[in-house]
Amino acid sequence: MQKRDLREETAPLRAQILDKLSQLPWDGVRCSHPIPGLVLYRIIEPAGPFSSVSEPSLSLIVKGSKRIKVGNETLVYDESCFFVTAIGLPMTGQICEATKSEPYVAATLRLDLEKLRRIITDYDIQPGDMPERDLGVVVGAATPELYDALLRLILLINSPADIPFLASHIHNEILYRLLTGEQGARLRRFALVGTNSNRVAKAVAWLKENYARPLRIEELAEVANMGVSTLHHHFRAMTAMSPLQFQKHLRLHHARDLMLSQSLDAATAAARVGYESPTQFSREYRRAFGHPPIRDIRSILSSSEPNRRDSID
């Protein structure tokens, strides 16, 4: 189905979602509510580029569009698409158009990979056509069924006593829709133990926990239970980066966060995340974020509130 057709088909559901969200209490960018794993965003001016290290999640844009950069890959998605990240990846995002009268509105739902595995096993969901690529982020068609489930999840805010039972069922329904949709085969491979995608996910998780340590590729291959060359091939296919590049992005993102959240100077932040050379850190930081550390942090701190959020999905 064409993007325009999808947008037209889901327009009534998205209008209902927007109407419901307009009635909720907003604290700047985000909305406070009791539904676990669900984050709601409303942006009223262009935001970004902002950086984050993602967690497994599904994002649906109710209104607007967003540009995401993962490694050297750039993806753009809007109301006609869902965006899934199946493994934790450092990425940069940007919302180019948003105003008070035409805000960017989106929802992100944390993905429970253990639930995903149980659904695959319990309902014997078989893979469809195998994807051409294994990039660890997925853009697929945002169907009326997905928006309907999102609407019902948001409506639970009005009946908090129902949330413990019904929210979990709706979450399972969304996972089922993803697994039986056009990108189901890719999600299945990410989730199931023993697949190359799952092995790379283990390597990614290890790197996220140990990014400040010197990287020994043999050790990482052992974590993933793969040969060195096989790991390199599948790691790059899933992350659009080599393991060393991935570690560098993690270090830079965490250093940026340290300078913002703890007011550390660049040299201290660089050492904290594993850099031995402040000069190298400054050079790679500028290449990643467009400005040297001090200038970049000053720019973020002096910017408007939406631009200071580092995880708008």
- Which pLDDT tens digit goes with each residue over 270-284? 999 999 999 999 999
Report whether pLDDT(238) > 90. Answer: no
Per-residue pLDDT at 70: 86
Domain shared by 121 and 181, yes or no: yes
d(CA 219, CA 287): 28
Last residue of a domain, one of 191, 210, 229: 191
Cα first-last separation, the chain: 24
In the predicted model, what is the mean pLDDT of residues 261-266?
94
- Overall number of domains in the chain: 3
Cβ-contact 196, 235 below 8 angstroms: no
Q: Residue 204's domain spans which residues?
A: 196-241
Domain shared by 202 and 185, yes or no: no
Note the pTM of the prediction, 2 decimals.
Answer: 0.81
Phi, psi of 36 (to 5 degrees): -65, 140
Domain shared by 281 and 148, yes or no: no
Cβ-contact 3, 141 below 8 angstroms: no
Domain shared by 182 and 204, yes or no: no
Lowest-pLDDT range, 109-118, 184-193, 194-203? 184-193
Domain shared by 164 and 255, yes or no: no
Tokens of 258: 């340290």
Residue whose tokens read 């088909």: 9
Report whether pLDDT(223) > 80. Answer: yes
Residue whose tokens read 């709706």: 170
pLDDT digits (tens, 9 = 90+) for 23-38: 999 988 999 899 999 9
Q: Does 313 map to a domain?
A: no
Closest listed residue to residue 35, CA positions, set 153, 152, 148, 145: 153
Domain shared by 26 and 146, yes or no: yes
Reported as a pLDDT band with limits 50, 70 and 90, residue 114 is confident
DSSP code, position 294: H
Q: What is the CATH number of the domain that holds 106?
A: 2.60.120.280
